[in-house]
A and B are shown apart, each in its own frame.
Chain A
Amino acid sequence: TQLLEQSPQFLSIQEGENLTVYCNSSSVFSSLQWYRQEPGEGPVLLVTVVTGGEVKKLKRLTFQFGDARKDSSLHITAAQPGDTGLYLCAGLPSGSWGKLQFGAGTQVVVTP
């Protein structure tokens, strides 16, 4: 059973559209991270959020950590083909030292 549930599993949109990816859990997390993975490569960190209610922006990407630290969202404004990839959320459950949990990922495809 996945501790972190991501939705949707797959998202296909046109260039210029907006999209939101969700990462939900019934457990509390000390921190949550978002990674992007491209084919043939390992995931690369986009952002880390640690405080409930925190919002971080990275150019056209906006990340939010839920007030209760059980969920997070990633919003992309005016998506570009370069945003295509597998987006993974990862978290450290509250009370855990080293056992990181990953979601199953959301495959995003942005077509020109």
Chain B
Amino acid sequence: EAQVTQNPRYLITVTGKKLTVTCSQNMNHEYMSWYRQDPGLGLRQIYYSMNVEVTDKGDVPEGYKVSRKEKRNFPLILESPSPNQTSLYFCASSSVGPSYPAGQPQHFGDGTRLSIL
């Protein structure tokens, strides 16, 4: 089954303790991205990757890191989490970047709810 898998689904942790949220897709997609969703703000893009070893900042990259060493995986790293990073996080992928051709459907994972105390 074609899917985007995020782990963990839920995590409660403390300020400053490094954490990684994994994202894996089995559709051989080139484009992957991370979003955070907060009430009243919708989805805001954190980082995106057009292909292996090609990553770029979205609108809210501060406090986050990503890597794209393999096509299928795109982990999100919080080196020193802080309470303002408490949020619902989504990973998404599409076959190619959103402009090739215009409007590629984004396939989303089921989300990771992160609480940082």
Contacts and interface: CB of A to CB of B under 8 A. Distances in A.
Interface of A: 2, 6, 9, 30-33, 35, 40-45, 48-50, 88, 90, 92, 96-105
3 closest cross-chain pairs (CB), A and B:
A42-B108, A48-B103, A31-B102
Interface of B: 4, 31, 33, 35, 40-45, 48, 50, 56, 58-59, 90, 92, 97-99, 101-103, 105-106, 108-111
Contact of A42 (B45, B50, B58, B109): B109
Contacts of A31: 98-99, 102-103
B48 A92 contact: no
A33 B50 contact: no
B99 A41 contact: no
Contacts of A103: 42
